[in-house]
């Protein structure tokens, strides 16, 4: 597989990684979906009724509404939390995340800015704002926010993971590999950093290291299409067409929107 083909494959794969939202503060895609369940929300409502003037209860329930996709209800709860405590910076950041999910990027940016004005050393706020900047293509601003979060001593692996994605897009694969590794050391059970690092290994033609990372990603969660697609890239490069076809087929079965998987199936048939 020539270098031009390798670069094309990385370009195809990168949007799959970036498309998995790296979330902000209180609402994370890695969190248990049960936290957004009706039962959990009902329990939080009971807590609020017993202490209706405590802003924390509304903030927590707002996060649960966000996980459940009930964005208007989430906004209402964050509004109440902020009314009760105008200095509640985490509620501003959580409200920003909901606005981001709703596609209101200007409102989201204003909320993050407000949270960071209240608490300038709020590392999670920088990560959240950085993710927003990255989503709207403001990569330099995003990179600076991730740097700031890391300088502040965050233990959240998303800061390194997100910075690595930008380094990868810039072709700085050695730096990206280091940052993906730092992310993995802090969140070893999440597959996406392994996928990211594997793609940078491919860019440097370190195929065995890439294969190890993609295999780990699959072991951690066998239902992620990107992991199977990336594994198929390595198998195809190694000339293992039968195994590559199976991996492409698995990727396609998990995500029918991934046309690259379908093309890989046809190519290795």
pLDDT in tens, 80-132: 999 999 999 999 999 999 999 999 999 999 999 999 999 999 999 999 999 99
Contacts of 28 (CB under 8 A, 6+ apart): none
SS3 190: coil
Asked if 112 and 105 touch (Cβ cutoff 8 Å), the reply is: no
Numbered ranges of CATH 1.25.40.10 in the chain: 1-30+121-269, 32-108
Q: At what angle do helices 139-151 and 123-135 cross, to 10 degrees?
A: 160
20 closest CA partner among 208, 244, 255, 205: 255
SS3 4: helix
What is the pLDDT tens value at each position of the chain, 269 positions in all? 555 555 545 555 555 454 444 444 443 443 445 555 788 899 999 999 999 999 999 999 999 999 999 999 999 999 999 999 999 999 999 999 999 999 999 999 999 999 999 999 999 999 999 999 999 999 999 999 999 999 999 999 999 999 999 999 999 999 999 999 999 999 999 999 999 999 999 999 999 999 999 999 999 999 999 999 999 999 999 999 999 999 999 999 999 998 999 999 999 99
State residue 10's pLDDT score.
Answer: 54
CATH of the structural domain 1-30+121-269, one choice from 3.30.9.10, 1.25.40.10, 3.30.565.10, 3.40.50.150: 1.25.40.10
Quote the CA–CA distance of 229 and 2 in Å, as a whole number: 19
The domain made up of 32-108 has a fold known as: 1.25.40
Per the prediction, the chain carries an average pLDDT of 90
């Amino acid at each position: 597989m020539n270098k031009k083909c390798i670069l094309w494959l990385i370009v195809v794969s990168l949007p799959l990684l970036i498309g998995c939202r790296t979330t902000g503060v209180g609402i994370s895609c890695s969190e248990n979906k049960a936290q957004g369940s009706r039962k959990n929300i009902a329990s939080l409502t009971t807590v609020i009724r017993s202490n209706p003037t405590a802003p924390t209860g509304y903030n927590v329930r707002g996060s649960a509404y966000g996980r459940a996709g009930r964005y208007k209800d989430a906004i209402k709860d964050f509004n109440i939390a902020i009314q009760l405590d105008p200095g509640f910076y985490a509620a501003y950041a959580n409200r920003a995340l909901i606005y981001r999910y709703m596609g209101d990027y200007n409102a989201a940016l204003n909320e993050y800015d407000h949270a960071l004005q209240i608490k300038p050393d709020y590392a999670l706020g920088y990560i959240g704002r950085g993710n927003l900047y990255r989503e709207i293509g403001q990569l330099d601003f995003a990179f600076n926010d991730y740097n700031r979060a890391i300088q502040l001593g965050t233990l959240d692996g998303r800061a390194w993971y997100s910075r690595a994605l930008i380094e990868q897009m810039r072709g700085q694969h050695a730096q990206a590999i280091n940052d993906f590794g730092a992310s993995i050391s802090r969140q070893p059970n999440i597959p996406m950093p392994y996928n990211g690092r594997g793609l940078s290994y491919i860019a440097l033609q370190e195929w065995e290291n890439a294969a190890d990372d993609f295999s780990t990603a699959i072991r951690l969660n066998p239902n992620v299409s990107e992991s199977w697609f990336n594994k198929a890239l390595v198998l195809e490069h190694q000339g293992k067409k039968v195994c590559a076809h199976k991996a492409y087929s698995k990727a396609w079965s998990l995500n029918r929107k991934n046309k690259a998987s379908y093309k890989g199936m046809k190519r290795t048939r």
